[in-house]
Structure 1
């Protein structure tokens, strides 16, 4: 934390928000947010991949005016940046997703709302001035999914995001060690209480989140089932968790409008290829047939530039938004987003890339 000449506190780096969140949150909640699956090898994989990439700037380009704005599935964004879906924002701040939505709107960023949000879709939409997408897991009860989709459409959500890398929740040692369960005062308010009951029962050596997923997630879903989502809703469908060109091509064949290349925050398949390492394979496979977003390890404005050079249309952040939320609610999340956007705009100028369209593979070097 630094201070301006007037004595006001100003945050100059994301790690300040991270440190504050770790200090303020209860240990089991911090572990739930920060932990990974298995050996937790994937927690740093995305960051390591991005750090290996170096930028190749161009000189003597007119960068007197840089425009970081872009469009994504019909929504205009102030920068190619959004917030990934994460459950139970009220674990970080009493206002939960309402504070996050307000911040995303203030910054001109996209917000993807988890089906396990701790505020109603309607309250979140009322607070939002920016675009909203709704994230889904495939539940055994399709009637509950259909109801959520109808409510999201009525509230003005602009796309559906189906998480496809979690037919079951992977073993997460920190949550198991803590016997983690969602506190009774916080719940996924958009789903019936009886459907979410297993997520609230703490047992030693076991994660209630994993127990709930085993009970409620439908692990028999295949590509053919996407037809049902297209029937239920006319909203664009985005798949989150695609890491191979093979699946990317299948997604386009099945009418998907977007892909989020993601390792689920390092919380699903251990020892997988990192999302940044998979990005060009996915981009090449879709060949412009759908939009591509990178989610994984984004911590600096330069990471946005690297993702665009690799072919992504935008990036998403996860944990940093929760750090900002725990730090100071709406103000903290807005600060996180604007910090990244400001860094990105500077990189645009120093790269000789005055618009998002000016980024391409010639702008990076990899080992």
Structure 2
């Protein structure tokens, strides 16, 4: 079946791993190289999963689970579960409706979608389609006027929060994509940044294109401070992996942090996100909410992240898997799988609310 053709969910799909397996069969090889692409040797991407797998849970029995629920509140927004759809670019690669299908699936499953700056559908079209809340992920542009234009469009469309990705001033070296010769197909582009210039390449013979050109417009803390002054929406920094940066972000007025290594797609051999989480949680001491992404594939992963200091998790790559297999239905089903798994894990560890989940859930 060609990419973009939704179908009933196959009966043998009962986990997110099943969605990945089916998605790989449904998209062209070069597109799969992009969807599954990882930085360099894919070590960080592998560590994201292995780190979750190493964490052991302490089962508890005979707990009173009357009134159990998975609800949380973030930035004044009530959420049915601590699950947010991460910003994922170019979703039309997986399904003809792209982000519109994701928006429908997110609304149907009661979770918040984060629209990527590099979405293949405009902010306005997505916002007019969905009845659910959404956030906007912002890449700071080479020109501040362009950054401000994106921010104002997101505000006007009704977005609830802005997530600024700061861990990719240059693209990672995704060898899998390079070997496959991946190029965006005709008709798929980052429509929201159309006409906005990127950094100008000015490297001469023998000079570095990274240091002479690509980094010219790389954002700094001064740009984040400026952005903070431009909006009253909650601002989150995505890509925090060190205590130092976490502390600096709070000092700069950020309302939340996303502990993330970009899914292992940028700098290889960074530690797993879940490994960085406890130290950052200790450093920030609950001053701002912490979100985590990178390797979340099971409800038990969500439980472990919450136990180690996260307030919620983001899922990214599985969005493309769900779209490729079943469009909006696939998105809703993925969320339902994770939420059910989380509920089962909470029941079997004796935690009836998200607030009752603490470090004792994880065995030392």
**Same-fold call, TM cutoff 0.5:** yes
- CA distance 1:27–1:215, change in 2 (3 Å): farther
> Out of 152, 174, 190, which is 2:192 matched to?
190
> Out of 87, 90, 114, which is 2:89 matched to?
87
- CA RMSD, aligned part only? 2.1
Matched residue count: 347
Once the two structures are superposed, the pairs formed by residues 87-106 of structure 1 within 5 Å of their partners are: 87-106=89-108
2:283 maps to which residue?
285
CA-CA distance at 1:142 after TM superposition = 1.6
Instruction: Kindly indicate whether residue 254 of structure 2 is the aligned counterpart of residue 256 of structure 1.
Output: yes
For residues 243-269 of structure 1, the C-alpha deviation after alignment (integer angstroms, 9 at most, x for no partner) is 111111111111001111111011111
Once the two structures are superposed, the pairs formed by residues 45-60 of structure 1 within 5 Å of their partners are: 45-60=47-62
> Out of 134, 137, 140, which is 2:136 matched to?
134
CA-CA distance at 1:44 after TM superposition = 1.1
Q: Unaligned regions of 5+ residues in structure 2, if any?
A: 1-8, 201-208
Is the 2:49–2:296 Cα contact (8 Å) retained in structure 1? yes
For residues 155-181 of structure 1, the C-alpha deviation after alignment (integer angstroms, 9 at most, x for no partner) is 110111111111101111012222322
CA-CA distance at 1:220 after TM superposition = 3.9
C-alpha distance in structure 1 between counterparts of 2:221 and 2:143, whole Å: 18
1:165 maps to which residue?
167
CA-CA distance at 1:221 after TM superposition = 2.4
Is the 2:33–2:182 Cα contact (8 Å) retained in structure 1? no
Is the 2:85–2:112 Cα contact (8 Å) retained in structure 1? yes
- CA distance 1:8–1:261, change in 2 (3 Å): closer
> Out of 8, 11, 34, which is 1:9 matched to?
11
C-alpha distance in structure 1 between counterparts of 2:295 and 2:197, whole Å: 32
For residues 80-138 of structure 1, the C-alpha deviation after alignment (integer angstroms, 9 at most, x for no partner) is 00111110000000111011011111111121111010111111112223221111112
1:202 maps to which residue?
none
C-alpha distance in structure 2 between counterparts of 1:100 and 1:132, whole Å: 11
CA-CA distance at 1:35 after TM superposition = 1.5
TM-score (norm 2): 0.91
Is the 1:167–1:218 Cα contact (8 Å) retained in structure 2? no
1:30 maps to which residue?
32
Is the 1:138–1:218 Cα contact (8 Å) retained in structure 2? no
Instruction: Kindly indicate whether residue 330 of structure 2 is the aligned counterpart of residue 332 of structure 1.
Output: yes
- CA distance 1:162–1:217, change in 2 (3 Å): farther
C-alpha distance in structure 2 between counterparts of 1:78 and 1:71, whole Å: 9
CA-CA distance at 1:194 after TM superposition = 6.2
